[in-house]
Structure 1
Amino acid sequence: MKKEPILSVRNLEICFSQYTKGLNRIDSKAINNLDIDLYKGEILAVVGSSGSGKSLLAHSILGILPSNAVTKGDIIYKNEPLDEKRKEKLRGKEIVFIPQSVNYLDPLMEVGKQVKISIKDKKNSNNILRNVLKKYNLEEKVEKYYPFQLSGGMARKVLLSSALVSDCEVIIADEPTPGLDEKSLNEALKDFRDLADSGCALLIITHDISAALKIADRVAIFYGGTTLEIATAKDFKNGGENLRHPYTKALFNALPNNSFTPIKGSQPLASELPVGCLFYDRCEKRTPDCENIKPEMKEIRDGKVRCLYAT
């Protein structure tokens, strides 16, 4: 019996309305036909270049998109639609966010008090707080600091601590590891893996494929505001020979510890998306059909891919 995902995103579309000179309205489509499934006990790493829609996905799930955003599609949590009212109710409780920007910390509140907000066991909150700060090599006095007194790396550790002490079911982490020293990075990755092994579902957005592959069960590759491939971590072994999409293979080969081969060209702008395959202009295996036919997501070899000719 196939298990049900705890969180599903289906055909997500996000447009931003803007007004130019003469009050002409322009709708820019930043995300289109985006699909993911997240299961209890797993880590799904979301990988892609800047502007591919990774953070927008997280903000859409949490209900924190700007007011000029218009969304379509379905977000399902525990087999029920995750509408705006439900997002607000669950945000910070069952669904916890580790943001990319340290500006999410309240500048007027001591960081220790901010971490304590996420601790349900209020009777032991002081001990829990000090243990998690100690784990990330933060001295006890740091709990009395205000955010402006923290370095970038320290602020990142405080954000991690807030999520890790919460008794949540889903963690969405947007670039959670930049600025961490190697010891703290490895500690954070281990904590993420331990949380997943205990039943929590983690969606980790990152540019660092190498770090993600250390702990992820599956990897979703984003490009031009959609999902091009969802592969298992095992698919990246043996030089990535089991990967399905040309972009995923090119991205993997561009890593310094692989062939370090750059990908020619650039990702299409949201206002200039092609009719057919989003990767058409950069793909070495393109055909005339690729220019005019938009590929649908299909299942191949226990993974998913959006490519006409993937096998």
Structure 2
Amino acid sequence: MSTTTSVPFRAGFACLVGRPNAGKSTLTNALVGTKVAITSGRPQTTRHAIRGIVHRDDAQLVLVDTPGLHRPRTLLGQRLNDVVRATLSEVDVVGFCMPADEPVGRGDRFIAEELSRLPKRTPVVAILTKTDRVADPDRIGARLLEIAGLGEFSDIVPVSAVRSYQVAVLADVLVARLPAGPALYPGGELTDEPEQVMVAELVREAALEGVRDELPHSLAVVVEEMVSREGRPAQRPLLDVRVNVFVERPSQKAIVIGTGGSRLKEVGSRARTQIEALLGTPVFLDLHVKVAKDWQRDPRQLRRLGF
């Protein structure tokens, strides 16, 4: 008589790490199937360990998208690295992201060295991201060999989040390394980030679109207020969202606002569309740009801005 063994349900946390702009946020969104992390093309745009939740019949994979691990030059940079290290110590599996269109560099080696200090029980999966940007299969092969020489990995998986190439395969690889156990979050939940944090991230993504290289590191967003407007009929609600965008210098304020306020208007329109999709309600977005001089190096201002 044959017996069938049921596959145990698995649930746990996976942390995606990599140098800035390695494609971690785009990959998080592709795995979850919706937008939970901002995806600016500028490096170091992620500032919070955003959790995206992948629900499957056999598993629940909770993705932690961290800031890019890097050699810090400011107090903010040190604190972002602290966020990554604290996250690494608490997860079940680590995904180390490296872009296919760039050779292995000092930043990758720095991270590989950091990961080599993890307890042996924490598996590390190397992920070759952005394979859609490389047309030559031989170049992909060369990159995979480069990655294999960086350290000991439980798997090496090439993916393209943009084209959904091997995203499901990567999910299977990560799930296989989770412990058996019940789901950690209710079904249907896609992230445990507070709505205000998500709104702030969407505004910051819109503000970073098409700006100069130096601005991303100098821009912080704080949601001051989110309240339903009084006196509106139940069938026509409106949410008032008041947001402050902080930069470090008056010249940066001028960049964000644009000539005659034209750029800030575009930022507001782009962000409002995303916020309304996130919250499922019409939004009146009130944006203000303020200068907080050298906030990245000032402990008091970093605390005020949530770092």
TM-score by structure 2 length? Answer: 0.29
Structure with more contact order per residue of length (Cα contacts < 8 Å, sep ≥ 6) = 1
